Amino acid sequence: MTVQEALEQFRSTVKNAHALQHAMGVLSYDAMTVAPADSAEGRGETLSYLSGLFYEQMTGPALKEAAAVLRENKEQLTPLQRREIEMFDRDNEYLSAIPAEEYVAYTALLNEADAVWHKAKAESDYASFCPLVQKIFDANRRFAGYYRPELDPYDVQLDQYEKGLTKERTDAFFSALREKIVPLLHRVMERPQVDDSFVKGFFPIEKQREFSDWLMQVETIDRNRCSIGETEHPFTTGFNKKDVRITTHYHTDEVLDSMFSVIHEGGHALYELHSGDELEGTLLSGGCSMSIHESQSRLFENLIARSRPFMKVLLPKLRELFPEQMAGVTEEMLYRAVNRAEPSLIRTEADELTYSLHVMIRYEIEKALFAGEITAEDLPRVWNEKYKEYLGVDVPDDRRGVLQDSHWSGGNVGYFPSYALGSAYGVQILETMKRDVDVDACVGAGDLAPIAAWLEEHLWKYGQTMDPLELLEKCCGAPFDPAYYTDYLEKKYSEIYGL
Amino acid sequence: MTVQEALEQFRSTVKNAHALQHAMGVLSYDAMTVAPADSAEGRGETLSYLSGLFYEQMTGPALKEAAAVLRENKEQLTPLQRREIEMFDRDNEYLSAIPAEEYVAYTALLNEADAVWHKAKAESDYASFCPLVQKIFDANRRFAGYYRPELDPYDVQLDQYEKGLTKERTDAFFSALREKIVPLLHRVMERPQVDDSFVKGFFPIEKQREFSDWLMQVETIDRNRCSIGETEHPFTTGFNKKDVRITTHYHTDEVLDSMFSVIHEGGHALYELHSGDELEGTLLSGGCSMSIHESQSRLFENLIARSRPFMKVLLPKLRELFPEQMAGVTEEMLYRAVNRAEPSLIRTEADELTYSLHVMIRYEIEKALFAGEITAEDLPRVWNEKYKEYLGVDVPDDRRGVLQDSHWSGGNVGYFPSYALGSAYGVQILETMKRDVDVDACVGAGDLAPIAAWLEEHLWKYGQTMDPLELLEKCCGAPFDPAYYTDYLEKKYSEIYGL
């Protein structure tokens, strides 16, 4: 096989694998947005079949042979091609280590778990979900063992979402956060609470949908390439640069939850929509890692949409859509309301200050489950204990406790640290951006295009051509430093709560 | 290969083919409901790849070998298994006659055509759609020639949707209709028109969505197995007995259009949802033919929802949802309004009397295109001429003319006669049902369960185990007789318009 033939073989097999991923992705998106409740069984069979075909394509002899030829002739490849082979080797080594039938069974398991989790959450019935969550954790631990029996399986798991991430690094990061955040939160809690009563009340879904459209427009999202759907748990998925989907969840009794979901998922979408053109269809398109992905979603959600200048843009729109609720509300009142810090039950609704504590709880539970220190049966008890310990709140039911997130039912085990890391990356990225862009002026004018353009130029366009810390350093001109994040929180909340 | 092995091989290959159809079906449904406008290209590539795999499964040696063994050992098969082999042979002969690359290219063409048609309709821009409609007709004519070079290609096409249907039979049927309907319509048009002003006005989409949910409930549709979406053109699709989707299109300026779409598509859905359990996963599940399918949708839409007893159920709900518009409206006024007969532009909004004329126009155009008497370039002119001739209306633009239906962009060429045939079958089926069920009493009480149960018992459960005319005769205990339909129209409209 010549290098040219190998390249063509590689390209066409990757294209076939993408087609299968696309089909599976749309089946899953459909399942979570609009499919009838009883449709899981037939979809499970279809997903099993497609995942078997995907496994065949990605681990089959055609692609391996082509990759071997390319690996042996690296000097004839472009840097992008070399990077792609490297990425293929990583993914392929993990995938090939899993027996085909286990891979297919795992796909079917996730499809079942999604349906069961939806019902379990609605009915606050953890017992029905418990055996599935155990199976999902077991499968992930087994897969990690097949792939790197010499490593700690949870380290393998973390590395899947964030190349190079380990328990050691995560522990150190969370320890640095905890040291700053916990005393800061205690000081905040001693101060009088800010008023956010005007964001509660009755907010009709139709008006909230209109609000979402406006938010996506302000965020510079091209609606011809990105749609919005409604799901139990908000998420973003993308099939290619011209087909990205975000979702939200509307609550009629308040307005901020969906608003921040839309902006958060919109940040993910922007990253996917602006991946480099030359990477499209290769293994290098899309986001670099989940932490870098979360850095973008959290940047838009918190650093932009929870900033003081954004209130100049937000308040007039809220007044237009919800004139009664917003009567008498000033920009300052709104700014304080959207930044109200308070220990609470739900991660996605948490303020910036307590957010990382929610993430730490999940991280510690995953670690303990992977280490065999606890089983799925212990989850509600451990969850509730940790919420009491870290946040001082009593969890009234599993719906608002261990069943709140869709990550475990979706097989995203080891994902959670990405949220906290991403929040920290985001602050460092924004501080860097401020050297080139007058961020406050842009945000205050409701013109986010210069911000998006900077991110595209310094981050989005690179796709997966670098590992996360390498990309972050290239973007920021300095290595990752969590102090940017803790300093930001300290300054922001000291000012709001007059510490 | 033993018969048992052949059966297993057959079953597993059909299952794989179903999985691929399921994935393609969901991709198409997603495209028409929620996908972003610019997403067609990536989806086209994925659909092409999947359709190639489908073609391989259905025409590959594994299935053919198994089918040959089963064909040679028919005496060892159950009647259902024999029927399934027979159906496989039919489909396979057609599919195998098409070269694989043409089949794949045709799938990509339909994906492109769907996107182009949506834009073309919105902008009333036939020119952009014209080359695609020509390609679609050309491909269908070519496929018919590959399959049965000795037959008229449009006869082949009609037979694809309705086994045994020919131009000769369709011409005779339409001629019988025209003979009765045209003079009847002329007499109606001489009479004072009924008032339907109260169904026009402003009907908020949110309220109409609530109305749709109620209509589906009245129609006895299991919402855990059937969802509703919103599309440019209403349709029904089903992936298995537990996953059926209907769609509608809301217009805020009137209330009947979406209402009858929901009931019509709901009739299709009921048929799919109640296919025999033992047929699930075989080639015999789902609807017998498109005409039988339309007989069910048109039966619910017209014979039930446009009947006088249904007004007892409908009016209170309309009053509840739209109290202002329905103030002072009586059951009799509503009955007359929903049955207002009038030559018009849009097929899906047409009354029962003029409906078949809309269908005849499309049938004649398809015949002429297939015969090469006209080309796609002639379509708008011919369309508008025929609307003037048959219905006496001037078509103001192609959006309300030749671009109104999604059938041609979807490759459904030869489908239209099914609507008229189905309308006629439906009347004969309902007349038969009336021997066993007090239809008027059930409809007047809003209890459609006995009607659904009768249809399941006499029609739905049989799936594709019989050919359409055979099934109709079994259901009705007599051969098809279009006089049921023309007599019904004569009686109904004479009474409404006092002829």
Query: Between chains, do A38 and B224 touch, taking CB under 8 Å as contact?
Result: yes
Residue B121 falls in which region: left (phi positive, over 0), alpha (psi -120 to 50) or beta: alpha
**Contacts for B86 with CB less than 8 Å, ≥ 6 apart:** none
> How far apart, in whole angstroms, are the C-alpha atoms of residue B391 and residue A16?
50
Nearest residue to B403 (alpha-carbon basis) of B341, B452, B346: B346
Which chain A positions have a beta carbon within 8 Å of B223's beta carbon?
36-37
Cα separation, B459 vs B433, in Å, equals 11
pLDDT attached to residue B244: 98
Residues A184 and A308 in one domain: yes
> Closest by alpha carbon to A87, among A292, A282, A295, A291?
A282
Which of A26, A222, A250 to mutate against chain B (most B CBs within 10 Å)? A26
Q: Which domain holds residue A24?
A: 3-150
Same domain membership, residue B198 and residue B76: no
Query: Which residues touch A90 (CB under 8 Å, ≥6 apart)?
Result: none
Query: What per-residue confidence (pLDDT) applies to B349?
Result: 87
For an interface test with B, which of A32, A242, A270 has the most B Cβ atoms less than 10 Å from its Cβ?
A242
Whether the ipTM is more than 0.90: the answer is yes
The sign of the CA dihedral A432, A438, A440, A446 is negative
Alpha-carbon gap: A40 to the closest alpha carbon of chain B (Å): 9
Please indicate, yes or no, whether residues B108 and B217 belong to a single structural domain of this protein: no
Q: Which residue of A has its CA nearest to B205?
A: A206
Q: Which residue among A84, A219, A254, A265 is the active-site one?
A: A265
Is A159 contained in some domain?
no
Q: What integer pLDDT is reported at residue B380 of this predicted model?
A: 98
Burial class (CB in 10 A: 0-12, 13-18, 19+), B21: middle
Which chain B positions have a beta carbon within 8 Å of A29's beta carbon?
Answer: 30
Burial of B377 (0-12, 13-18, 19+ CB in 10 A): middle
Per-residue pLDDT of chain B (499 residues; tens, 9 = 90+): 999 999 999 999 999 999 999 999 999 999 999 999 999 999 999 999 999 999 999 999 999 999 999 999 999 999 999 999 999 999 899 999 999 999 999 999 998 999 999 999 999 999 999 999 999 999 999 999 999 999 999 999 999 999 999 999 999 999 999 999 999 999 999 999 999 999 999 999 999 999 999 999 999 999 999 999 999 889 999 999 999 999 999 999 999 999 999 999 999 999 999 999 999 999 999 999 999 999 999 999 999 999 999 999 999 999 999 999 999 999 999 999 999 999 999 998 899 999 999 999 999 999 999 999 999 999 999 999 999 999 999 999 999 999 999 999 999 999 999 999 999 999 999 999 999 999 999 999 999 999 999 999 999 999 999 999 999 999 999 999 999 999 999 999 999 999 9
Nearest CB among B30, B38, B245 relative to A225 is that of: B38
Domain boundary among B125, B150, B175: B150
The closest of B165, B117, B153, B161 to B372, measured between CA atoms, is: B153
Contact A36 B239 (CB under 8 A): no
Q: Are residues B184 and B104 in the same domain?
A: no
Residues B146, B172 within the same domain: no
| Single residue among A150, A185, A219 that ends a domain in this structure | A150
Q: Which of B39, B48, B221 to mutate to test the interface with A (most CBs of A within 10 A)?
A: B39
B128 shares a domain with B174: no
The identity of residue A261, as a single letter, is S
Question: Which chain B residues are Cβ-neighbours of A36 within 8 angstroms?
Answer: 223-227, 242-245
A157 found inside a domain? no
In this complex, the residue of B50, B229, B243 whose CB is nearest that of residue A19 is B50
Q: Confirm whether A156 is domain-assigned.
A: no
Name the nearest CA neighbour of A289 among A417, A172, A171.
A417
CB of B344 closer than 8 Å to CB of B393 = yes
Is residue B160 one of the residues assigned to a domain?
no
Q: What is the pLDDT of residue B67?
A: 94
Residue B329 CA, chain-centre distance (Å), reads 32
Q: Show which of B105, B123, B150 is a domain's final residue.
A: B150
Q: How far apart are CA B197 and CA B190, in angstroms?
A: 20
Residue A391 confidence (pLDDT): 94
Q: What angle is formed at CA B372 by the lines to CA B367 and CA B375, rounded to 5 degrees?
A: 95
Side chain identity, residue B223: R
Is there a contact between A50 and B23 if contact means CB atoms under 8 Å apart? yes
- Residues B146 and B171 reside in one and the same domain: no
The length of chain A in residues reads 499
What per-residue confidence (pLDDT) applies to A349?
87
Distance separating alpha carbons of residues A48 and A46, to the nearest angstrom: 5
The owner of tokens 């020919």 is B166
Burial of A352 (0-12, 13-18, 19+ CB in 10 A): buried
Residues A222 and A369 in one domain: yes
Kindly report the CA angle at B166 between B369 and B414, in degrees rounded to 5? Answer: 45
Distance CA A433, CA A21 (A): 35
Phi-psi region of B368 (alpha: psi -120 to 50; beta: other; left: phi over 0): alpha
What's the gap in Å between the CA of A434 and the closest CA on chain B?
A: 33
* Neighbour order of strands in the sheet with B226-230: B226-230, B243-248, B236-240
Does residue B162 form part of some domain? no
A301 catalytic residue (yes or no): no
pLDDT per residue rounded down to tens, chain A (499 residues): 999 999 999 999 999 999 999 999 999 999 999 999 999 999 999 999 999 999 999 999 999 999 999 999 999 999 999 999 999 999 899 999 999 999 999 999 998 999 999 999 999 999 999 999 999 999 999 999 999 999 999 999 999 999 999 999 999 999 999 999 999 999 999 999 999 999 999 999 999 999 999 999 999 999 999 999 999 889 999 999 999 999 999 999 999 999 999 999 999 999 999 999 999 999 999 999 999 999 999 999 999 999 999 999 999 999 999 999 999 999 999 999 999 999 999 998 899 999 999 999 999 999 999 999 999 999 999 999 999 999 999 999 999 999 999 999 999 999 999 999 999 999 999 999 999 999 999 999 999 999 999 999 999 999 999 999 999 999 999 999 999 999 999 999 999 999 9
Residues A187 and A260 in one domain: yes
Whether residue A179 sits in one domain with residue A60? no
Residue A426 located in a structural domain: yes
**For the domain that residue A191 is a member of, what is the CATH number?**
1.10.1370.30
Backbone angles phi, psi at B177, to 5 degrees: -65, -50
The answer for residues whose C-beta is within 8 angstroms of residue A249's C-beta and 6 or more apart is: A230, A231, A232, A233, A234, A257, A258, A261
Contact A258, A251 (CB under 8 A): yes
Q: Do B258 and B276 touch, CB atoms closer than 8 A? A: no
- The verdict on residue B161 lying in a domain is no
Do residues B402 and B260 share a domain? yes
A-chain residues near B49 (CB < 8 A): 15-16, 19-20
Residue A416 in any domain: the answer is: yes
3-state secondary structure of A335: helix
Domain count, chain B: 2
Same domain? B144 vs B217: no
